[in-house]
């Protein structure tokens, strides 16, 4: 079952904050976040495991709420380099990752 | 450390022709993945290898797609015959192991079927 991401697209000015959500109808055990710039390969941001932990990466952090079957990615004080399409991927242990449809983030100066 | 290598980077073929893609994962990575990414969508897993064994190929259209990973290193993905709907970017990724590992993606092969 493919996770659902929201919003589908967001446009920000440099320095503004953004939240991207990833929801699943199935129980979540792990959530992976990747960023893909136009014409390039996806690049890993972070993995969150079952347990409700929050992780950080520079000014990008994420939370994982297993009860709500949802993960959120937080981008603080966005930079131009944050532009791209963000994908969440959900999985369980050795099982395959299923990616969402993506959220396109555009940061303007 | 060298990343995941893929070739060719671009391929244009006519429908009903065959095509093959090659992937060389990061040295020492046991798990290798082939994804299909259609424009505007997230990557969809086609097949996952652990060393030279198949872990998951449930979404591989086996009537036309095949993949192998001989000796647990390089891998090839073949489409025969190609259809218009196979136009997509084919991404190869590798990771150190099966469980909850970061996946490292290659640059992809953009396939256009005319």
User: Which tens digit of pLDDT belongs to each residue from B70-105?
Assistant: 888 999 999 999 999 999 999 999 998 767 688 999
Please report residues of A whose CB lies closer than 8 A to that of B107: 40-41
User: Which tens digit of pLDDT belongs to each residue from A22-75?
Assistant: 999 888 888 999 999 998 999 999 888 876 566 666 788 998 888 888 999 999
The rounded distance, in Å, linking the Cα atoms of B30 and B74 is 11
User: Which tens digit of pLDDT belongs to each residue from A66-82?
Assistant: 888 899 999 999 999 99
Contacts of B79 (CB under 8 A, 6+ apart): B18, B19, B20, B64, B65, B86, B111
User: Which tens digit of pLDDT belongs to each residue from A1-10?
Assistant: 899 999 999 9
Please report residues of A whose CB lies closer than 8 A to that of B98: 93-94
Length of chain A: 109
CB contact under 8 A, B103 and A32: yes
DSSP A7-37: -SEEEEETT--EEEEEE-SS--SEEEEEEE-
CA angle B29, B89, B13 (to 5 degrees): 120
A12 touching chain B per CB within 8 A? no
Distance (Å) from the alpha carbon of A93 to chain B's nearest alpha carbon: 5
């Amino acid at each position: 079952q493919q996770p659902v991401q929201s919003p589908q697209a967001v446009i920000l000015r440099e320095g503004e904050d953004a939240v991207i959500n990833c929801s699943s109808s199935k129980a979540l055990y792990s959530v992976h976040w990747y960023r893909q710039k136009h014409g390039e390969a996806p690049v890993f941001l972070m993995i969150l495991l079952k347990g409700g932990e929050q992780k950080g990466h520079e000014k990008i952090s994420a939370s994982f709420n297993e009860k709500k079957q949802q993960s959120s990615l937080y981008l603080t004080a966005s930079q131009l380099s944050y532009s791209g399409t963000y994908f969440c991927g959900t999985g369980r242990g050795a099982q395959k990752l299923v990616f969402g449809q993506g959220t396109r983030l555009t940061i303007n100066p | 450390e060298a990343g995941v290598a893929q070739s060719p980077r671009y391929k244009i073929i006519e429908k009903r022709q065959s095509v093959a893609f090659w992937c060389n994962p990061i040295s020492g990575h046991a798990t290798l993945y082939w994804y299909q990414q259609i424009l505007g969508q997230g990557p969809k897993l086609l097949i996952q290898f652990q060393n030279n064994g198949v872990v998951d190929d449930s979404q591989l259209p086996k009537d036309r797609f095949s993949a192998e990973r001989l000796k647990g290193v390089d891998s090839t993905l073949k489409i025969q015959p190609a259809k218009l709907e196979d136009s997509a970017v084919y991404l190869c990724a590798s990771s150190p192991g099966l469980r909850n590992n970061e996946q490292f993606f290659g640059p992809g092969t953009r396939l256009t079927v005319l």
